[in-house]
Each structure stands twice: as C-alpha cells, then as structure tokens.
Amino acid sequence: MPEGLIVKALSGYYYVKSDSAAPGETVQCRGRGIFKKKGLTPLVGDRVLYTPTENGEGAVEEILPRDTELIRPPVANARLAVLLFSLKEPDLNLQLLDKFLVHIEQSGLRTLICLTKEDLLDEGESDQDGDLTSQVKELYEKIGYEVVVTSSRIGTGTEEVKSRLAGEISVFSGQSGVGKSSLLNAMLPGLSLETSEISMKLGRGRHTTRHVELIELENGGYVADTPGFSQLDFLELGVEELSVCFIEFRQFAEECKFRGCSHLHEPGCKVRQAVEDDAIASSRYKHYVQFHEEMKEKKRRY
C-alpha cells in the first residue's frame, strides 16, 4: 500500500500527497468506515497508508502513529509553533502573547516568536518603538525562546524564518490580522493567500483562513496555515499545570518550600523571590497571576 501525508481535509475528503508525488500533486481519498467505529479521525499532518481506487481517487486504510496531536487547530505531527505578533496594527499585546505561549508549552511544541510588521513603525516613533522591539526580543530570548523580527513588505527576517521550517511540519498561529498570510506569501512567491485589511475599531483582522491545510515549502517543510484566534481559553489546562508552562519558573519552583506551591502567597516561594530579584520578568509573573485567576473563575462557572 502506498504511504503519504494528509495535506488537506475538506468536506469529508482527505487529500494525500504520496512520498513520490510531485509538489502540489495529491490523491483525493475517503476514510474507511472503521475509523468512525473506532472513534478515530484522520488529521491534516497524519502519515497514512491508502489504497488507490479505479476512479483515480483513494481510500485511507491506516493512520500511522502520531508524534504530536493538536486539538485546536486539528493537526498531527507538528513539531514547531510559529507564533506571530505584530508590532503595529494591531499593537503588540504581551498578555495575549504569554497566553499563546502557555498553550504552546502545554501542547509540547517548540516555539519561534515572530514580531511582524516592523516596516509600520513610523520614523518619528522609531526610537521609542525600536527600544520596545529590542526589549521584547531580549525578554523572550532570555527566557529561552527564539525571536525573529520580520517585515513581509520589505523582506526582513523572511529567509531566517523559512530556514527554521525546513524538513518539518509547523503551525502558524497568533492573533488575527498580524500578517500570517503575508509572511507565507513572502516566503513562497506565487502562493497568493488571501490577506485581510485590519479593522482599526476592533484592532484585529477578519478571518481569512477557512480550513487547515499544509503548504509545502521547497526545503521539505510544511506549514499549517490555520484560522487566527482573537482569544483563547484555558478549559483544557489544569490550574496546577499553569506554572510549568512558564518555562523560566521551573528551576526556581523546584526549590519552593512547599510541594505544589501555587507561587501566589505561600511562604518560602522561590518563584516570587526570583521576581523580586529580577530573575523573572515582572510582566510575566503578572500575567501568570491573571491567568491563574481566570482559570479559577472558569472552573467556578463550569
């Protein structure tokens, strides 16, 4: 049986690219009924075995073991999350950035932070915003994240991002309207993904991505261009797991006086001590406290 990769799922069909197929060449397949009986759903990113049928289509027979599985967006075998946040239009929102990072840490993916739309910084405010860009880059690199500053319009950072995507499945994520489609178009001329104007009143773009699809790069990488999110919730995450998703807390949390320390009020908390000593950024700790409250509030409601 031929083996291939599901690159698109739409209206009950799975579009499978075989290992020997030319770029862009796929076989339209249906899933076998056995998947439904077993409660399984083939996902974009799945490696599968399929049987060609007489009409030039095919049937997915078996889903090969997955390395990772995301619920939202529904993608299998992704290893890298490319998190895009704009410097302008909409303005940089560090609280939302930290919320995305929590979700990515929980999913077990590596992260590449892209600060987009550098070209929109006005010359008159470049000193102030330039400092902001440097400060944010330094903050997250110190934590251990890789950060790239990009501009799709003038090409800054495009090749750097592209080289990081080689040979693996990546998920593009972030707030709507921050330039995901523009960056993909810049990396892959001829792709022509639909981009959206920004609603200045709402501070976010209209959703331009309708379904999950893997876009093939010539360096062997695949990018899942996924619907943008304007907000996230913590329903899948236990409150006790939150602090682990702040990766710079971990080394200090091991030395806390009490096991299971919430890092909010317990005596002998080394995380709070690290915030006081500037070893943990106060902005990150502030967002941790806010998320903790949000999660407790949600649990009370549900």
114 is in an annotated binding site: no
Q: Average of pLDDT values for 134-152?
A: 92
117 is in an annotated binding site: yes
| Residue 47 in this model has a pLDDT that exceeds 60 | yes
27 is in an annotated binding site: no
182 is in an annotated binding site: yes
Top pLDDT among 98 and 130 is at 98
177 is in an annotated binding site: yes
| Distance (Å, whole) CA 25 – CA 216 | 11
167 is in an annotated binding site: no
Mean pLDDT taken over the chain:
84
108 is in an annotated binding site: no
256 is in an annotated binding site: yes
Top pLDDT among 222 and 124 is at 222
Contacts of 51 (CB under 8 A, 6+ apart): 1, 58, 59, 61
The structure's pTM equals: 0.83
| Residue 69 in this model has a pLDDT that exceeds 60 | yes
116 is in an annotated binding site: yes
| Distance (Å, whole) CA 220 – CA 19 | 11
Task: Give me the domains of the chain, ranges plus CATH numbers.
Answer: 3-65 (2.40.50.140), 75-225 (3.40.50.300), 239-301 (1.10.40.50)
Most confident of 111-125, 132-146, 210-224: 132-146
Query: Per the structure block, which two tokens stand in for 248?
Result: 């710079």
207 is in an annotated binding site: no
99 is in an annotated binding site: no
Place of tokens 């049987």: 51
